[in-house]
A and B are shown apart, each in its own frame.
Chain A
């Protein structure tokens, strides 16, 4: 049975597009959750970056305890 499963390789080309998109989306979500802040995004977005601070402050303790850099 393990032989069977070992033969079921997926090559990189066979990985369907949706799963690449899903990985991209999940990583983007992770960035917004863990790293985005008004200060960080200010050079990119200007004043609109302040919105990111709501999530930043709400997830504040989680960010520190999950070991990512946080202000």
Chain B
């Protein structure tokens, strides 16, 4: 059973990843190009930095990156779905798929993005990449834990028969406090310095959009694939 979800997850992930790649190519690449022009203008006169790949190759690499990102994330999503599907309150494969994709998007992406937003090339000191990677990964892991804890608390309260307003307020408040504590506890995001604010905003918006397209696509395609199977063999899976 888990293997079939893994397979569907990887398929859905690949499609969603390529879709996100198209979004990023058309809406994100212009900002990346402008950021690189700023970098090159600042470096003018200094010795040329040797590039492994030209810009055209890197743009092709974008689809490689989002596609492979989709396959791997989709695989993990499929296995997580196999584990969680019997535990989710949502009543159909379609609803469960969308809920799980939404929850993981919030924990693995949206909350970390609020703390450590995406940065275009030239923002961020290469010397601090180790520390920045560590605090980013810590933020992703802890945010996922917070979302998991909120889901678990809501489930326990529901089992105890707590009414919806009390349950949702309690879980919501807990979520806000926990996320606030994470924001305060982890090191600050790097300062973009003199980088143009408008360009920074449009880059970050397109980067967030890329992830929204990916997670939306993953939830939708995975949900459709599962619905199709459960119609064909109602008790199988």
Which residues of chain A have a CB within 8 Å of any CB of chain B?
A: 1-2, 4-10, 12, 15-16, 19, 22-23, 26-27, 29-30, 33-35, 37, 39-40, 43, 53-54, 57-71
Contacts and interface: CB of A to CB of B under 8 A. Distances in A.
Contact of A69 (B66, B72, B129, B234): B129
A60 B119 contact: no
Contacts of A63: 65
Contact of A26 (B21, B32, B76): B76
A60 B61 contact: yes
Interface stretch (B80-88, B151-159, B171-179): B80-88
Interface string B191-227: 0000000000001001110110010000000000000
List 7 A-B pairs, minimum CB-CB distance, nearest first.
Answer: A62-B65, A67-B118, A59-B65, A58-B61, A65-B24, A57-B52, A61-B62
Interface residues of B, number: 60
Contact of B61 (A7, A8, A59, A71): A59
Given A4-B235, A19-B79, A22-B79, A30 B73 contact: yes
A24 to B, nearest CB: 10
Contacts of A53: 52
B167 interface: no
The main secondary structure of chain B at its interface with chain A is: helix
A9 B113 CA distance: 33
Given A26-B76, A60-B61, A66-B69, A10 B83 contact: yes
B150 interface: no
A32 to B, nearest CB: 10
The main secondary structure of chain A at its interface with chain B is: helix
Contacts of A27: 72, 76
Contacts of B107: none
A65 B72 contact: no
Nearest to B73: A30
Given A33-B68, A60-B58, A19 B6 contact: yes
B124 A34 contact: no
Contact of B75 (A8, A12, A26, A60): A26
Nearest to A5: B86
Interface string B103-121: 0000001000100111111
B104 to A, nearest CB: 13
B133 A35 contact: yes
Given A5-B237, A27-B76, A62-B69, A71 B124 contact: yes
Given A26-B72, A62-B62, 11 more contacts: A5-B85, A23-B75, A26-B76, A30-B72, A37-B129, A54-B52, A58-B61, A61-B61, A62-B69, A65-B62, A66-B20
Nearest to B131: A69
Contacts of B133: 35, 40, 69
Contact of A33 (B72, B86, B208): B72
